[in-house]
Amino acid sequence: MAVAAAVGGGAGGPAAAAPVPGSGCTLFPADNVWHADVSTLPVHPSGGAWLASMGGPGVRLHPDFGPAGPGEQPYGIPYTVVPGDAAKVAVAFEYADESDPGPYPFAADTPVEGGSDRHALMVDRDRCVLYELFAATYDAAGSTAGSGAVWDLRSNALRPAGWTSADAAGLPILPGLLRRDEVAAGAVDHAIRMTARRTDRSYVWPARHHAGAASDPSLPPMGARFRLKASFDVSRFRPDTQVVLRAMQRHGMILADNGSDWYFTGTSEPGWDTGMLDELESVPAGELEAVDASSLLVEPDSGRVRAAPTPAAPVTTTTAAPVATTSPPAGPMKAGPPPAPARRPATTVTPTTTAPAVVSTMLDQEETAPEPVARRPGLPPPPDDGPRAAEVALLVLGAVSAAVAATGAALRLRRRTRGRHRLRPRHLV
């Protein structure tokens, strides 16, 4: 995939938010918190404790998207763009008291995320409205979902305080997903959605909801923002990897859900380059830092940041190729890890403790530790504990090498097991 090369650097936000492919709709105004430049914000004083609770500095980042096995839906979260006159259906919600009633443009061919979360995201291209569902199941006799939210993409309005959305933090999902079209264009103009295994029973602006394991300030709250350190040298990476890393330096990542530590999310679409994904997996969490974003807040119920973004550095296009936005053919739905493909459409386009918005809500949490992430072949053997260990290690490496030679690229696809199995908070009545 050809990538446009970004030239220049420094502080400042994008000149304008990039529109969703297949529509003229941007994912919220340019002065929205998702597009804010956090590169010069102060470091959060709790960042060290949060990092320790998320596995420590040696844990590597993990792109939670990319190719799957042959005939399977790519990992990630799919989305679809629909016309304004698309048929809409009523959806019965498990958490109806915190869900927007709809109706939703949800159909039998709407792409649904594989695995347990089963997110479904739909953009009305004519009205610029975003519809998002969690645990979505279409049924002609009556569709169901865990929760749902409807967003006016031309507005900075947040959900009511204490309300969930299709995400545990009460935030929209689509604005935080990495997309192939923006990486190919050479600029990602927004923060990136991420998860952590255990979170505090609080949230910070712009989040509106928590799903915490405990009231523990050493755990990050929903809405916590992290950025890649300015000292991290991104120039040694591929051009497309640099696009993502520069977005992490400028816009950072927002903690939006419970899941595996340091997993960050992209769209479920064909064509993600595994070379880029491998490079992103090499970045240690210790190269990120939590930032205090409270100075951006204008009012708790709005996502507008205090100052409108300044123009971005110029972008020089090299040979960026058009990016397809159609899904691969439909595949069967499976259960259990690794995350299974969802039902497939014919086409898709797919923190701070000082802020006044820190809130706790009366929710209970059922949370399980994620399953270990499957590692790709070729990792080094365990530390040498004697001649026998070395001998065994050589045998293991020989077997792995043979397996790699026999299976080739398929092994590279299977290694992206996500391990993001979480349960939603239970509402108390």
* Least confident stretch, 75-79, 270-274, 330-334: 330-334
Mean pLDDT of 225-245: 98
> What's residue 246's pLDDT?
98
pTM of the model: 0.74
Residue with the bigger pLDDT between 165 and 306: it is 165
> What's residue 419's pLDDT?
38
> What's residue 213's pLDDT?
85
- In the predicted model, is pLDDT for residue 367 greater than 90? no
- In the predicted model, is pLDDT for residue 426 greater than 90? no
Q: What string of DSSP letters covers 71-140?
A: TSPPBSB-EEEE-TT---B-EEETTGGGS----B---TT----SSSS--EEEEETTTTEEEEEES-B--T
Q: What string of DSSP letters covers 143-189?
A: EEESEEEEEETT--BPPPTT---SSTTS--SGGGSB-HHHHHHT---
| pLDDT tens-digit readout, 182-231 | 999 999 999 999 999 999 999 999 999 999 989 999 999 999 999 999 99
Residue with the bigger pLDDT between 384 and 209: it is 209
| pLDDT tens-digit readout, 257-308 | 999 999 999 999 999 999 999 999 999 999 999 999 999 999 999 999 987 4
Sequence ranges of the domains in the chain: 1-72+160-429
Calculate the alpha carbon distances from 93 to 78, 144, 162 in Å.
Answer: 21, 6, 17
Dihedral angle computed from the Cα positions of residues 354, 360, 147 and 374, in that order, rounded to the nearest 10 degrees: 70
